[in-house]
Amino acid sequence: MYEKPFEAEEAQNYSQKCCVALVLDTSSSMADKSIDQLNFGIQSFLKEIRADAANLGQILELGIITFDTAVTRVSEPKLAESLNFKPLTVNGTTMMVDGVREGIKMVGQRKEWYKSTGQPYFRPWVIMITDGDPDSDQQGELPKLSAEIRQGMDGEDFWFMAIGVAGAKMSTLELISHEKMEPRKLSGLKFSEFFRWLSSTIADVAKGQNVSDAMKKNSDDAWDGGFKI
Partner 1 sequence: MSRPTIQVKDNQSWGPFVIKCTDCAGHLAIIQKNAARIKELESKVEALNLLLSPPAVPGQPVVSVDAVPAEAGWVHLKASVAGFRKPILQDAHDLVIEGDNAVLIVCDGAGSLKHSKAGAEFVVKHLSAKFLELIKAGEAFTPETWTERARTLFLEATEVLKSKTQADRQNFGDFGCTCIVVFAGPDFVACAHVGDGRAGYLDAAGHWLALMTPHKGALANSTVFMTMLEPASLEQLVRVTFIPARTRAVVALSDGPEDVCWLVSTFNAAGQVIIDPNEPSNEFLGKIANQLAAATAKNVSQNALDKLWQDFLTGGTPKLKAQVDDKTLLLALRG
DSSP string spanning 4-38? PPP--PPP--PPPBEEEEEEEE-SGGGTTHHHHHH
Cβ neighbours of residue 209 under 8 Å, at least 6 residues apart? 217
Contact 194, 163 (CB under 8 A): yes
Stretch that binds partner 1, among 2-10, 104-112, 179-187, 189-197 (CB under 8 A): 2-10
Which C-beta is closer to partner 1: that of 11 or that of 155?
11
**Total Cβ atoms within 10 A of residue 32:** 9
Strands 71-79 and 60-67: antiparallel
Q: Which is nearer to partner 1, 11 or 228 (CB)?
A: 11
From 32-40, 112-120, 142-150, 153-161, span contacting partner 1 (CB under 8 A): 112-120
Tell me how far the alpha carbon of residue 135 is from its chain's centroid.
21
Kindly state whether residue 156 participates in binding partner 1, applying the rule CB under 8 A.
no
Task: For residues 199 and 227, give the distance between their C-alpha atoms in angstroms, rounded to a whole number.
Answer: 21
State in angstroms the smallest separation of the CB of 51 from partner 1.
12
The residue (of 6 and 136) whose beta carbon lies closer to partner 1 is 6
Binding part of the chain for partner 1, among 99-107, 114-122, 173-181, 193-201 by CB under 8 A, reads 114-122
Q: Which member of 32, 117, 155, 228 binds partner 1 (CB under 8 A)?
A: 117
- Give the interface segment with partner 1, choosing from 93-101, 113-121, 154-162, 198-206 (CB under 8 A): 113-121
Determine the Cα–Cα distance for residues 225 and 166; give it in Å rounded to an integer: 10
CA triplet 190, 195, 201: central angle to 5 degrees?
A: 130
Shortest separation between residue 12's beta carbon and partner 1, angstroms: 8
Which x/- pattern, by CB under 8 A, does the window 12-31 give for partner 1? xxx-x---------------
Half-sphere CA count of 199, side-chain side, radius 13 A: 25
CA atoms within 13 A of residue 213's CA, in its CB half-sphere: 8
From the CB of 78, what's the least distance to partner 1, in Å?
Answer: 13
Q: Which x/- pattern, by CB under 8 A, does the window 59-98 give for partner 1?
A: ----------------------x-----------------
Q: Which positions touch partner 1 (CB under 8 A)? A: 1-14, 16, 81, 116-120
